[in-house]
Homo-oligomer: A and B are copies of this chain.
Amino acid sequence: MKPTENEGTMASAILVTGGAGYVGSHTVASILERETSPDFEIVVVDNLTNSYRAEGQKKPEPIRIIEELTNKKISFYELDLSDKQALSKIFEKHSIECVIHFAALKAVGESVQKPLEYYQANITGTCTLLEVMRSYGVFKLVYSSSCTVYGEPERLPIDEGHETGRGLTSPYGKSKYFCEEIMKDLCTSDQRWKIISLRYFNPVGAHRSGRIGEDPAGIPNNLMPFIAQVAVGRLPELMVFGNDYPTADGTGVRDYIHVEDLADGHVKAVRLFHQPGFSGFHAVNLGTGTGYSVLQMIEAFKSASGRDIPYRIVGRRAGDIAANYADVSLSHRLLAWRATRTLEDMCADTWRWQSNNPQGFKSS
């Protein structure tokens, strides 16, 4: 397999579900930045649950901004994947070659409060998408999965052969695991399917332009946007959940990966579909292979932003694990991909986005 950077046409159309969200929008940007064919098209569907559309605009802000940045058009449909008929119409209208499926609810804590909503959105949404794809003869799918499927790691770094599904503590994590199992079984039953499930570690950072980035509703669930909102003064202080973990400084260690690296991983996954003989279900970690602790993240962000990050140590949070980082050898081997952006890049790009847009997309 030799994917080339300038291979031109990727496909006639790529459907991106949840393409107005955080990882989705960066992936759309990454594809359009690389795509040179004039016939190529990106079709985004999103129900706007986790995206913002400005008053009077037809397209959500991230999509509108990517069109500006790339000087290319994106077809956008406001749509929930539960609406099978509306989804089918999009397959009628566009010549879809493959799908990148981000659309999902993703807040771990919220999923514990609203499990039924999470299972319906994430499982039923995925099953409906798979049904519609099959009925239109589309069998290539990149799925947005998570290292959460591994549960508590039995070994580090975690490779893709690590057991999945045991001891999962949130409906969010279970929904990702269930969807992977559904897709595995589907690939076993029907050789036409080619499905790549990308297991993200901890996506952070923002587009280098500083114009698109993570824009969580309410209090952020994840560390990096929380730090960024403290740095910019939107939140008073950071809570560090536990400093008694068996790690170097006692705080939790995670494999943070720059969202632009993650987006590039999707581009590589789509290229893999062109490889002769490629088929079946493949799960691939997307991480850097390196873990950083909460305190290391705070220090790095202080340097990048020049701001103080007041923090307070509080008790451990239920369901959190001590440390987690990826074995990234399969992603090198299969996708010819590796993360290239550093922790400094992650912090600098997050800060550029956050300081230019203190209220997220509503600022623009």
Chain A residues with CB under 8 Å of chain B are: 112-116, 119-120, 123-124, 127-128, 130-131, 134, 165-166, 171, 174, 178, 181-182, 185-186, 188-189
Candidates B113, B123, B166, B189; contact of A127 at CB < 8 Å: B123
- Among residues of B, the one whose C-beta sits closest to the C-beta of A170 is B185
Q: Do the beta carbons of A127 and B131 come within 8 Å of each other?
A: no
Q: Do the beta carbons of A119 and B182 come within 8 Å of each other?
A: yes
A116-B131, A166-B166 given; name 20 further pairs at CB < 8 Å.
Answer: A112-B189, A113-B189, A115-B182, A115-B185, A115-B188, A115-B189, A116-B127, A116-B182, A116-B186, A119-B123, A119-B127, A119-B185, A120-B124, A120-B128, A120-B131, A123-B124, A124-B124, A174-B178, A174-B181, A178-B178
For residue A165, which residues in chain B have a CB less than 8 angstroms away from its CB?
A: 165-166
For residue A178, which residues in chain B have a CB less than 8 angstroms away from its CB?
A: 123, 174, 178
- Among residues of B, the one whose C-beta sits closest to the C-beta of A84 is B82
For residue A123, which residues in chain B have a CB less than 8 angstroms away from its CB?
A: 119, 123-124, 127, 178
Copies of this chain, count = 2
For residue A115, which residues in chain B have a CB less than 8 angstroms away from its CB?
A: 182, 185-186, 188-189
Nearest CB of B to A55, in Å = 32
* 5 A–B contacts from the bound complex (CB under 8 Å): A115-B186, A116-B127, A119-B182, A124-B127, A178-B178
Q: Do the beta carbons of B189 and A185 come within 8 Å of each other?
A: no
Distance, CA A181 to CA B168, complexed state (A): 10
Q: Do the beta carbons of B171 and A185 come within 8 Å of each other?
A: yes
Candidates B119, B124, B127, B188; contact of A112 at CB < 8 Å: B188
Q: Do the beta carbons of B134 and A127 come within 8 Å of each other?
A: no
For residue A128, which residues in chain B have a CB less than 8 angstroms away from its CB?
A: 120
For residue A134, which residues in chain B have a CB less than 8 angstroms away from its CB?
A: 116
- Among residues of B, the one whose C-beta sits closest to the C-beta of A185 is B115
Nearest CB of B to A345, in Å = 37
